[in-house]
A = this chain, B = another copy of it.
Amino acid sequence: MGMKSANQSSQERQTNMHLGKDKDAKGTWVTYRPEIKIHDCTVRDGGLINDHKFDDGFVKAVYDACVAAGVDYMEVGYKADKKIFAPSDFGAWKFCDEDAMRRVIGEKAPSIKLSAMADAERTDYHNDILPREKSVLDCIRVATYIHQIPTAIDMIKDAHDKGYETTINLMAVSTVRDAEIVDALETIAQSPVGTVYLVDSFGALYSEQVRYLTLTYLRAIEGTGKQVGIHAHNNQMLAYANTIEALIVGANRLDATINGMGRGAGNCPLELLIGFLKNPKFHLRPVLECIQNVFLPLNQKMEWGYSIPYMITGWLNEHPRAAIKTRAGSKKDDYVAFYDQMVEEE
């Protein structure tokens, strides 16, 4: 019957309780890993909702909250090529010109670093990314699909040579074959990049897959001094859960956004992540204050966060564009029609 004797020693009981201790876990429940860094991407990922048309006051509020919360990096937007994207169609945070950033940030706090994202094949990186000493930016994050890796590596080298910290954010890996991921990681491991990000662009990954991929990424960069990061989307309400799954097994760079704001279903909420992290440098209250004063009013005008159409595209491992289109239309809550359409297209 497998029942336990009432005379079982307390040491045996202790052993029974520790069966679940996770062999892959780096660290314990009570300590923290000081090498874990938070990368806020509220303004950058949130800008995908409104073509980056945030006013200066909003960006400053996010910056102030990040500094007060102890956030390590804040991403202010993209370095998009103005020959591809007309500046008249977008807000300032699509381009992150130095004067725009300096106007808002002023004298940068010593505790925080700033980053911009540079999309492979959409960035005039040789010209638009200045030498680091001439920029308020500290870090360039190169976003790439699997077929753009050679371009991305060249961008990484360019940014590295200009003095920046760098990350490579390999997008949409939920649709990439294992062998190609391994190939990409081998190439990345030989580049000067500082951090390689596991990016769940479609919000399609489950915790098992996040664990498996994070460990695969860690194995690939073992001994190089590089870090692994995680950027999750909330289509299946797993952005936060997947972020802590990745960090438990060793990811040290964690993307998050205030109130989970970001394209479609949004991202890992910064406030939840700070609640989980035990490093006393992180503070929850300034983030809550910013949500209450800035994000609640904004949410009346702009939609983000989990809803059924995003769940469906995440579940189907597809780009959220169809869900975004539905949520912007008059039939935003016709879940059954959206389900039927998506399943039929499969």
Binary per-residue interface labels of chain A (313-346) against chain B in the complex, 1 for a CB within 8 Å, 0 otherwise = 0010000000000000000011110011000000
Specify which chain B residues have a CB less than 8 angstroms from the CB of A285 in the assembled complex.
336, 339-340
Within 8 Å by CB of A236, from B222, B240, B249, lies B240
A17, A24, A25 — which one has the most chain B CB atoms within 10 A of its CB?
Answer: A17
A13 to B186, CA, bound (A): 11
Specify which chain B residues have a CB less than 8 angstroms from the CB of A288 in the assembled complex.
308, 335-336, 339
A41 to B92, CA, bound (A): 48
Instruction: Tell me whether B220 and A4 are in contact (CB under 8 A).
Output: yes
Within 8 A of B (CB), among A202-225: 206-209, 211-216, 219-224
Contact of A189 with B by CB under 8 A: yes
Instruction: Tell me whether B240 and A237 are in contact (CB under 8 A).
Output: yes
Contact-residue bracket for chain A: 35 or more
Specify which chain B residues have a CB less than 8 angstroms from the CB of A25 in the assembled complex.
208
Residue of B whose beta carbon sits closest to that of A218: B19
Binary per-residue interface labels of chain A (229-263) against chain B in the complex, 1 for a CB within 8 Å, 0 otherwise = 00000001110111011001100000000000000
Specify which chain B residues have a CB less than 8 angstroms from the CB of A57 in the assembled complex.
none
Instruction: Tell me whether B186 and A219 are in contact (CB under 8 A).
Output: no
Instruction: Tell me whether B186 and A3 are in contact (CB under 8 A).
Output: yes
Residue of B whose beta carbon sits closest to that of A285: B339
A-B CB contact pairs (8 Å), 18 listed = A2-B189, A3-B186, A3-B189, A3-B223, A4-B182, A4-B220, A6-B186, A10-B179, A16-B182, A17-B212, A19-B215, A20-B24, A20-B216, A22-B211, A208-B248, A237-B237, A275-B315, A292-B334
